Amino acid sequence: MEFAALVDVNAEALQTAGEKLGLPASALFTDPQKAFESVEADFCCIVTPPQFHRGAVELAAARGLDILSEKPIAATWDDTVSVYKTVKQAGVRMLVTQNYRYTPRILTLKKAIAQLGQVNYAVGRYASDYRVRGSWGAEFRHTMPHSLLVEGGIHHFDQLRNLTNGDAETISGYEWHPGFVRGAQGGFGGGDSFEGEPCALFVMQMHNGTFAHYEGNNLASGKTNSWHGEAYRVECEGGAAILDSDHKVWILSRENGELKEREIEPVMVEFAGHSAMPQQFLDWLEGGEAPPTILDDNIKSNATLFAAITASEEKRVVNVREMLESALEK
Ligand SMILES: NC(=O)c1ccc[n+]([C@@H]2O[C@H](COP(=O)([O-])OP(=O)(O)OC[C@H]3O[C@@H](n4cnc5c(N)ncnc54)[C@H](O)[C@@H]3O)[C@@H](O)[C@H]2O)c1
């Protein structure tokens, strides 16, 4: 893979990245429109903050360029549906980066689950200590609405789909800001760090008879399960598959009333995590099978995310499948 050009609205960031990639000044653009008008390329990679994904997709689709885009598909449900329709109408291909499915720890967990018969339910826990403003990387993650879910939960909803092999049929639960619940942003330790909602608890009923539970917390002050250290427990017919921040995968099962614990040999792959995404994308463009997180499938993870926001706002159970079907019909 070679870089034909780079676009960044921040000239300094553009310069730094251009130098790192060894690109000439003629291949560096601060204006996306100009870049899409003049550059010859085979495909486009989108790694801007979520609210700019839609604009970049429209420019790429107008040029007939296939797209590898960072999650989430877009920052709102309306933009997500618009991206889907734009991509379909243009007849281009789009893969969504869901790198966490392909880390060795998750591939090992999947290997454990495969040994345990049917999945009953999965529990996922993500918890970071981002009580200081700016500690979650970019500033936009501290200011945007629904930041935990849009920037973080989208990975975890996608992972719960991956671990249960199910698509959310319904979702209920809440996202909240513990400061606002108490009447003022600063009314909770670290509450000033976020303007949106840093905490969430949701339950999903999946289409295949499994269930899933998600706990997300960006104000964790005790045990953390931050990025690449998320905890998952998958309860199955033949026992439970367990993964925690030590990255070890265990199968816990009962034999004659006695608890047996067995550690699972880690799975190793050549292209893990993020590097699995361009590898899958390039294979697909060259005629290989469509990867699991193509737009047509990953829109289900994104529908789960925006259904979660609606469920919390309206204090009700949202039918994710119906929400997706009716949006795509219009
Ligand atoms: N898959 C993962 O593990 C992972 C991890 C981090 C971020 N992300 C995703 O990557 C994307 C970018 O996140 P980030 O943390 O790198 O954000 P960021 O704020 O660091 O932005 C990345 C770059 O985009 C530039 N930019 C902003 N608006 C632009 C526009 N309209 N056109 C061109 N360039 C623009 C910024 O100047 C910046 O240099 C988001 O969608 C985020 O969710 C994914």
Ligand 1, atom nearest to 138 Cα: 19
84 CA to centre of ligand 1 in angstroms:
20
Radius of gyration of the chain (CA): 21
Q: 10: Cβ below 6 Å to ligand 1? A: yes
Interatomic CA distance for residues 26 and 180, integer angstroms? 49
Going by their DSSP bridges, the two strands 231-236 and 94-97 should be labelled as unpaired
Q: What is the average pLDDT across 115-130? A: 98
Q: 9: Cβ below 6 Å to ligand 1? A: yes
To the nearest whole number, what is the mean pLDDT of the chain? 97
pLDDT of residue 59: 98
Residue 240 exposure: Cα atoms within 13 Å on the Cβ side: 16
Q: How many CB atoms lie within 10 A of CB 61?
A: 22
pLDDT of residue 83: 98
Could you report the per-residue pLDDT of 246-284, keeping only the tens digit for each? 999 999 999 999 999 999 999 999 999 999 999 999 999
141 CA to centre of ligand 1 in angstroms:
10
Q: What is the average pLDDT across 110-130? A: 98
Q: 71: Cβ below 6 Å to ligand 1? A: yes
44 CA to centre of ligand 1 in angstroms:
14
Q: 49: Cβ below 6 Å to ligand 1? A: yes
Q: What is the average pLDDT across 13-41? A: 97
DSSP string over 80-96: HHHHHHHHHHHT--EEE
Ligand 1, atom nearest to 14 Cα: 39
Ligand 1, atom nearest to 97 Cα: 1
pLDDT of residue 44: 97
pLDDT of residue 141: 96
Determine which of 86-95, 183-192, 290-299 has the lowest per-residue pLDDT on average.
183-192
pLDDT at 186 over 90: no
Ligand 1 binding pocket mutation candidate from 6, 7, 8 (most atoms within 8 A of CB): 8
186 CA to centre of ligand 1 in angstroms:
28
Ligand 1, atom nearest to 99 Cα: 1
pLDDT of residue 244: 98
Could you report the per-residue pLDDT of 87-112, keeping only the tens digit for each? 999 999 999 999 999 999 999 999 99
Q: What is the pTM of this model?
A: 0.97
pLDDT of residue 215: 98
Residue nearest to atom 8 of ligand 1 (CA): 70
Q: Do residues 163 and 109 make contact, with C-beta atoms less than 8 angstroms apart?
A: yes
Of 119, 109, 123, 122, nearest to 248 by C-alpha is: 109
Ligand 1 binding pocket mutation candidate from 33, 39, 48 (most atoms within 8 A of CB): 48
Q: Do residues 204 and 83 make contact, with C-beta atoms less than 8 angstroms apart?
A: no
Altogether, the residues listed in the chain come to a count of 330
Domains and CATH numbers, the chain: 6-99 (3.40.50.720), 100-271+296-321 (3.30.360.10)
Q: 180: Cβ below 6 Å to ligand 1? A: no
Interatomic CA distance for residues 63 and 304, integer angstroms? 30
Determine which of 176-185, 241-250, 301-310 has the lowest per-residue pLDDT on average.
176-185
49 CA to centre of ligand 1 in angstroms:
4
Ligand 1, atom nearest to 10 Cα: 37
Residue nearest to atom 24 of ligand 1 (CA): 48
How many angstroms from the chain centroid is the CA of residue 100? 8
Token pair belonging to 136: 């979650």
Q: What is the average pLDDT across 194-211? A: 98
| Residue 330 binned pLDDT confidence (cut-offs 50, 70, 90) | confident
294 CA to centre of ligand 1 in angstroms:
20
By three-state DSSP, how is residue 239 classified? Answer: strand
Q: pLDDT above 90 covers what percent of the chain?
A: 98
By three-state DSSP, how is residue 212 classified? Answer: strand
Interatomic CA distance for residues 205 and 214, integer angstroms? 12
